[in-house]
Amino acid sequence: MTGKTPFEALSVETLATRLGSNEALTQRIGEDTSRWKVREVGDGNLNLVFIVEGGKGAAVVKQALPYVRLVGDSWPLPLKRSFFEYHALTRQEARAPGSVPAIYHFDETQALIIMEYLSPHIILRRALIEGRQLPNIARDIGLFMARTLFRGSDFSMVTKERKADLALFADNVELCDITENLVFSDPYFDAKLNRHTSPQLDALVAELRADRDLKVEAQRLKHLFAANAETLLHGDLHSGSIMVTDTETRMIDPEFAFYGPMAFDVGMLLANFWMAFFSQRGHEQSGKRDAMRAYLLDVTAQTWSVFRTEFSHLWRTERNGMLYQKSLFEDQGDRLGAEQALDHVLHQIWDDLLGFAGIEVHRRILGLAHNADFETIADEDLRATCEAKALKFGRHIAVNRRHIHSIDEVNNLAALIEQENRI
């Protein structure tokens, strides 16, 4: 296929015909298309995702659609989001090698990316629902966030290159608009596409929507998201955007990438661990999940610790950008001044990530796009019990974030709330 071919959505039936001459694909799976096996496995909200297997191997073909798949063609979206995903993946690989799938081919006109097939990896969210305690995720995700967020910022990048990158990703307008509305605003009023477990949560939802302090805080965070272009973010970093084995962790799906506040990725990610924690009571059909709950809280603490440690290391060794120049500190023998500045930066990330985490919990329970952590709990009363505790937790950390000083304090709060009204 060529870049001049008008866009046409692929299908299981047409993929081999249309991509049979694509050298990047045939090199990896074989040229004999009669031996190709094609499966469409996209279970996300936006795109088509195919696994293509041939005589030599397998690959993934991901194609954007001109609308939101979850809703249909009544909600159009530009195909250019695949352009931003491609560019984000290349930058993430450069800044955190081995953390994302290898990219074999990008076709901007057809809005498709051919990439590495990750096997036997599964989606992290599925693993957590199943009760798997993966040993490396805190280290791998903490390192990924520290390296990509630091190295994509004015702490590290040459100013000219960073501003050119900022201009490129600034055009990802429509996907930022989705975040700005679905995350920060829609959960707090009766938006058309909202849904929640009803009638069990109706009273609590009404209470949250009448909560002036919460709504003001949500809008302050929305302001921060929109106005603070600190670094290139993944933009949608959650347990459904991470693929894992017991020994390997890969981040996927950065089509929401844009320049925003460092704390956003960290807060969204930790929120998903906390939601997994609150959902565990709904997955105890085969036995109690006390050990899994303890594991999840430990993962949040370890992830934040690894992030802080690696970020601090990069601050001391790779701080070559225009911010907090070494000429003002270390070059004058003032190492303590550089450490004071580092403490300030990390403290701001901490405050902000708690806010983003709280809002993420709310939008995943009250908005359009829900988490399987809760959605797979068939008993609606039990699901609502789990969700209500998560909503209470999210409200507390969003509104009171400036008075929370450690990850242990947050995890102790989560444990206390989870224990409420236990049967």
Q: Is 38 in a helix, a strand, or coil?
A: strand
**Across the strands, what pairs with 232?**
259
**Across the strands, what pairs with 59?**
52, 116
Which two structure tokens, joined as six digits, stand for 322?
């225009």
pLDDT category of residue 5 using cuts at 50, 70 and 90: confident
| R_g (Cα) of the chain, nearest Å | 22
pLDDT category of residue 421 using cuts at 50, 70 and 90: confident
- pLDDT, position 4: 65
Q: Check if the beta carbon of residue 344 is closer than 8 Å to that of residue 351.
A: no
Cα distance between residue 337 and residue 71, in whole Å: 52
Taking phi over 0 as left and psi of -120 to 50 as alpha, with beta for the rest, 274 belongs to alpha
pLDDT category of residue 1 using cuts at 50, 70 and 90: very low
Cα distance between residue 222 and residue 179, in whole Å: 9
Per-residue pLDDT for 44 more than 70?
Answer: no
Which two structure tokens, joined as six digits, stand for 378?
């068939």
Please provide the distance, in angstroms rounded to a whole number, between the alpha carbons at the two ends of the chain: 60
**What number is the average pLDDT over the span 86-100?**
98
**What number is the average pLDDT over the span 142-171?**
98
Cα distance between residue 12 and residue 37, in whole Å: 9
Q: Check if the beta carbon of residue 69 is closer than 8 Å to that of residue 57.
A: no
pLDDT tens figures, 203-250: 999 999 999 999 999 999 999 999 999 999 999 999 999 999 999 999
pLDDT tens figures, 142-156: 999 999 999 999 999
In the chain, the percentage of residues whose pLDDT exceeds 70 is: 98
**What number is the average pLDDT over the span 63-91?**
90
- pLDDT, position 225: 98
pLDDT category of residue 2 using cuts at 50, 70 and 90: very low
Q: Is 105 in a helix, a strand, or coil?
A: strand
Query: Average pLDDT over the chain, rounded to whole?
Result: 96
pTM above 0.85, yes or no: yes
